[in-house]
Amino acid sequence: MSEPVWGPVHRDIVDLLADHPADVPAVVDHLTKLQDLLVRMPPLLDSCPLADFNKLYLTITTTVLDGLYDDRFVDPVFLSRLDVEFAARYFDAMRLWTDSSAGTPKAWSCLFERMHGPDARPLPSAAAGVNAHINFDLPFALVTTFDHLESEPMDGSDQHRDYLEINNIFAEKIPQLRRGYLERWQLLIDMLNGDIDDWYQGELVDYTRDVAWRNAQKIWQCRHDPAAHECERNRLDSTAAALGRLLLSPLGAFLQ
């Protein structure tokens, strides 16, 4: 094989990924180290599209950590487990990509593929990462967390409230997205993910906030059925990948 996947920082990234952070402070630490490495990726310093996502994700996770210290959440046990499990999926995707595995989620590989390309713009890149992470990783992270805590995704529960609180953090931390094109962007997510019925029933607003939550509830019901579960995973992956590609296409530049 020719060039290592992560270029000059390949070794460092592989070493970093060998570690599996198990609590939120460790996740923040991990993302910080990763950021230092990703900005050193060629062709130009600070030009790596993944670094654009990583930076945003680091900011958000740091805010979540502060929130945990500051008693911002009703059920910190749930939220911290979710945060770790959520991050683990991003690291998993990177690991699979490192091994050139065919199992790398398509939702992520569309962003990873851009790593060496010259023309990915920061905002669409970050948005593509957020897309993969929320539309693909998050529902599964939710299900695993609930399963581990012997609880379940129930509307109106403490956990649901805390989960929505994270949405608020995302909104706070993506001011550029919030202004102007967030609506457009979320509209796209809904069109791709949603059942067309939901539009007509006028539940759009509630629905947008809850796409991943709803998907988690769907997966929850079929979590013991390997075939159905796999089917759902492929569906989410394809949808998220389609949206990711759209975001990274010339069309996505309209976001910038």
149 touches another protein (CB under 8 A)? yes
Q: Which of 11, 32, 43, 69 binds another protein (CB under 8 A)?
A: 69
Quote the least distance from Cβ 87 to another protein, whole Å. 11
Near another protein by CB under 8 A: residue from 30, 61, 75, 252: 75
Q: Does 231 bind another protein (CB under 8 A)?
A: no
For the purposes of burial, counting CB atoms within 10 Å of the CB of 230, is it exposed (0-12), middle (13-18) or buried (19 or more)?
exposed
* In the complex, minimum distance from the CB of residue 221 to another protein, in angstroms, rounded to a whole number: 9
Determine which residue in the list 39, 59, 116, 152 makes contact with another protein, applying CB under 8 A: 152
Q: Tell whether residue 122 is a contact of another protein (CB under 8 A).
A: no
Give me the amino acid identity at 187: L
251 binds another protein (CB under 8 A): no
Q: Which of residues 1-60 bind another protein (CB under 8 A)?
A: 20, 22-26
Among 2, 44, 118, 150, binds another protein (CB under 8 A): 150
Q: Report the candidate in 85, 1, 5 with the shortest Cα–Cα distance to residue 38.
A: 5
Contact with another protein (CB under 8 A) among 30, 81, 114, 214: 81
Q: Which of 36, 99, 172, 195 binds another protein (CB under 8 A)?
A: 99
Compare residues 68 and 242 and give the one whose CB is closer to another protein: 68
Longest Cα pair distance anywhere in the chain, in angstroms? 53
Q: How far is CA 105 from CA 19, 108, 151, 219, in A?
A: 21, 5, 27, 17
User: Contact region for another protein (CB under 8 A) — 51-59, 61-69, 118-126, 186-194?
Assistant: 61-69
Question: Residues 4, 42, 154, 164: which binds another protein (CB under 8 A)?
Answer: 154
CB 116 within 8 A of CB 38: no
Q: Which of residues 128-147 bind another protein (CB under 8 A)?
A: 139-145, 147
State in angstroms the smallest separation of the CB of 173 from another protein: 19
**Interface pick for another protein out of 10, 33, 106, 233 (rule CB under 8 A):** 233
Look up residue 54 and give its DSSP letter. H
Query: φ and ψ at 73, to 5 degrees?
Result: -110, 155
List Cβ neighbours of 81 (8 Å cut-off, separation of 6 or more). 145, 148, 149
Task: Count the helix, strand and coil residues of the chain and give each as a percent rounded to the nearest 5.
Answer: 75, 0, 25
* Alpha carbons 51 and 153: distance in angstroms, whole number: 32
| CB crowding 81-118: b at 16 or more within 10 Å, else e | bbbbbbbbbbbbbbbbbbeeeeebbbbbbbbbebbeee
230: tokens are 């796999």
Q: Which stretches of the chain bind another protein, using CB under 8 A?
A: 20, 22-26, 65, 68-71, 75-77, 80-81, 84-85, 88, 92, 99-103, 105, 139-145, 147-152, 154, 157, 219-220, 223-226, 229-230, 233
